[in-house]
Amino acid sequence: MDDPAPPERDVKQAILLGLRCRCPACGDAPLFGRYLKTLPHCPACRQDWTHQRADDLPAYIVILLLGHIIVPAMVEVERAFSPPLMFQMLFWPGLAIVLALLLLQPAKGAVVAIQWARHMHGFGPVRPGAGHIVD
Q: Mean pLDDT score of the chain, rounded to an integer?
A: 91
**Residue range 66-76: mean pLDDT, rounded:** 97
Per residue in 10-26, pLDDT (tens digit) is 999 999 999 999 999 99
Give percent above pLDDT 90 in the chain. Answer: 82
Q: Is the pTM of this model over 0.85?
A: yes
Number of H helices, E strands in the chain: 3, 0
- C-alpha span between 70 and 23 (Å, rounded): 30
Range 50-66 average pLDDT: 96
Query: What is the SS3 assignment for 32?
Result: strand
